[in-house]
Structure 1
Amino acid sequence: MESSEEKVVAVIMVGGPTKGTRFRPLSFNTPKPLFPLAGQPMVHHPISACKRIPNLAQIFLIGFYEEREFALYVSSISNELKVPVRYLKEDKPHGSAGGLYYFRDMIMEDSPSHIFLLNCDVCCNFPLPDMLEAHRRYSGMGTMLVIKVSAESANQFGELIADPITKELLHYTEKPETFVSDLINCGVYIFTPEIFTAIEGVSTHREDTANLRHVSSFEAFHSLTRTLSKDFVRLDQDILSPLAGKKQLYTYETMDFWEQIKTPGISLKCSALYLAQFRLTSPHLLAGGDGTKSATVIGDVYIHPSAKVHPTAKIGPNVSISANVRVGAGVRLIGCIVLDDVEIQENAVIINSIVGWKSSLGKWARVQADGDYNAKLGITILGEAVTVEDEIVVINSIVLPNKTLNVSVQEEIIL
């Protein structure tokens, strides 16, 4: 029976600067979790989903970025949501379960009955209240969000087998070499505080094993202690796999959208997914316009209030325009993210591209790509402070920061 006194906390794993290398050049100066999707920082989407959890006491962000990089955002989002959001910096990477355990005293200070654990680089509709309800029915230690994907792509993720009736997790394997199942782990979980006992058990077992082993050479000893570091505990291999089939872990399947945000290409796709979701959750964030007093807006578009967009511009679908952007007359934008302080001059065109902070496009310039989110050059990326001169065309290319393009390029990486 649910008690009105029960408290819930949420923990969001945000990683650190050694992660997210595939997100370059967009993560050079901005932590990946703060990169905007649909006009909101990536981490904002799971945080705002947590706000819908009943009896939510606190939200923790755990990572190993410097605290100053998150200080401003954490302060503003706490005020906006009226829920305490705290950033906890790891001294070193502890793994997804190890990081949770490292801060267990802070996480448990409100004596929560349940702990949500989310990964920041996941894009979905985060059905957290429904998960909580299902988790209470299952009466297990943990419930994980799962989704069916194509058999060809399943091995990129954690594959699992669940009982079709009880939804119990029966088998779990991370990125298997042979096909196991088209049901995969979404990286969103809810646990009871018993999870800490399970993590502690892994650490204790590792310590005991390390003490028992007699290793002859220094190299072997070094490799053993590295592989068996007692405070680095992975949630998937060290917790989910061993506990599968023991009536402790259960699954909740989502029929909605889900993506893992590993690359800038996928981030552009996720921005479009979140814009579409705004129609249901936050219609006030979507721009409108018919080309009379304001620009013509087609489909789902976010325009920051400080952006200046000429009434003859045509924007959308799936466009996100950040703060202090200037969009000139006759500009056409389709399927793109335009970051802060960008200037787009008359009649320029941007399609399937991300335009970095403080960049500028000249008159009649064209920046575009095929829009294959999974291909290395499937979208065009302009890094920070890139200048594309008048009438220059940039197709399916990545341009690193602080470059000036005065000749057209196609399928190139401009270092």
Structure 2
Amino acid sequence: MGVTEVILAINYQPEAMARFLKDYESKLGMKITCSQETEPLGTAGPLALVKDKLIDESGSPFFVLNSDVICEFPLEKMIKFHKAHGGEASIMVTKVDEPSKYGVVVMEETTGKVERFMEKPKSFVGFWMDIGQPRYYITGLGLYLDSLRNKGSSKLSSGSHIHGNVLIEESAVIEGDCVFGPNVAIGPECVVEEGVTLSRCTVMRGARINKHACISNCIIGWNSTVGQGACIEDMIILGDDVYGYDKISCNGRVPPS
């Protein structure tokens, strides 16, 4: 049996997060529990809040993941490795361009046993990226979509209007004469009207893109609207329920709501 329960350590808008996650419990077939921090507890502190859930009589291991990292996690290989060596914990590491920025690991070459946190880490096949900043989120989206392509995933969209990797949720409504790609994700319950061009962007749940809008290198937040004929590009980020006026042109700053 694989992962059956996910526990999320949350702080900001816990009620909204809990409502959002309810949809995914049935979709993913697993229990999702939220553990709220009433004060900042640091990186490891939230684990103490759910200690009783993590440590039980079964002695089953659990994964600890940062939510702002996108990665092709080899979880099955990792759990087999962990059970085989019998140690207290296992850490997955990879190479990065700036090791000093993330911290690095020195390990015993033959066994993988961690000796200290100083030198270059061991790599794995796949991808990894910290997506805690918007521009890295867009790059991380591209890595994820590339991963789906390499696996031959049926989730990716196809058609004459699709250029490169594009992911469209089934409940999204797409009108004609649109051009999507590369690296586009359109969330559930979105509406994209005719003649829209999207590239290197994420359109989140419930957003609406009106006719002939052009969006590039942007994040369109939940329930937001981009006006007819609008052109927004270069890391414009619309938050929740923001309205961008018709024919507005924005480059690198948040438009008025």
Please classify the TM superposition score into its range, dividing by the shorter chain length: 0.7 to 0.9
Alpha-carbon distance between aligned partners in 2 of 1:61 and 1:277, rounded to the nearest angstrom: 25
CA apart distance, 1:55: 4.8
Mind listing any 5+ residue stretches in structure 2 that lack a counterpart?
Answer: none
Alignment of 1:70-109 (within 5 A): 70-109=17-56
1: CA distance, partners of 2:29 / 2:198: 35
Q: Which residue of 2 aligns with 1:161?
A: 106
Higher RCO (C-alpha under 8 Å, 6+ residues apart): 1
Normalised by the length of structure 2, the TM-score is: 0.86
In structure 1, runs of 5+ residues without a counterpart are 1-53, 173-179, 184-251, 291-295, 370-378, 405-415
Q: What is aligned with 1:182?
A: 120
Q: 1:312 — aligned with what? A: 177
Which residue of structure 1 lines up, in the alignment, with residue 155 of structure 2? 285
Q: Return the letter of the residue paired with 1:395.
A: N
2:253 is matched by which residue type in structure 1? Answer: S
One-letter amino acid of the structure 2 residue matched with residue 322 of structure 1: G
Distance across 2 between alignment mates of 1:348 and 1:74 = 30
Secondary structure of 2:135's match?
Answer: helix
The answer on whether the counterparts of 1:63 and 1:89 sit within 8 Å (CA) in structure 2 is yes
- Describe the shift of the 1:342–1:84 C-alpha distance in structure 2 as closer, same or farther (beyond 3 A): closer
CA RMSD of aligned residues (A): 2.4
1:386 to 243, 246, 249: 243
Q: TM-score, normalised by structure 1?
A: 0.56
Larger radius of gyration: 1
Deviation of 1:91 (Å)? 3.9
2:213 is the alignment partner of 1:362: no
Give the Cα separation in 2 of the matches to 1:360 and 1:143.
Answer: 45
Kept after mapping to 1: 8 A contact 2:35/2:49: no
Contact 1:57 1:110 in 2 (8 A): no
Aligned positions, number: 255
CA shift at 1:282, angstroms?
A: 8.0
In structure 2, do the counterparts of structure 1 residues 93 and 307 end up closer, same or farther at CA, with 3 Å as the change threshold? Answer: same
C-alpha spacing 1:82/1:92, structure 2 compared with 1 (3 Å)? same
Bigger share in helix: 1
User: What is the SS of the residue equivalent to 1:166?
Assistant: coil
CA contact (8 A) 2:226 2:244 kept: yes
Q: Please say if residues 320 and 336 of structure 1, whose CA atoms lie closer than 8 Å, have aligned partners that are also in contact.
A: yes
String of CA shifts for 1:24-44, please: whole Å, max 9, x gaps: xxxxxxxxxxxxxxxxxxxxx
Confirm or deny: 8 A CA contact 2:183 2:201 kept in the other structure: yes
Letter in 1 for 2:225: S
Report how far residue 131 of structure 1 moved.
Answer: 0.7
Poorly superposed stretches of 4+, deviation over 6 Å: none
Distance in 1 (CA, whole Å) between partners of 2:16 and 2:238 is: 23
Alpha-carbon distance, 1:314 to partner: 1.0
Which of 51, 58, 81 matches 1:111?
58
Which structure shows the higher strand fraction?
Answer: 1
Distance (whole Å) between structure 1 residues aligned to residue 13 and residue 200 of structure 2: 33
**Residues 130 and 113 (structure 1), Cα distance of their counterparts in 2 relative to 1, 3 Å cut:** same
Partners in 1 of 2:82 and 2:123 — Cα distance? 12
Q: Percent identity, aligned pairs only? A: 26
Aligned twin of 2:86: 139
Q: CA deviation at 1:90?
A: 3.3
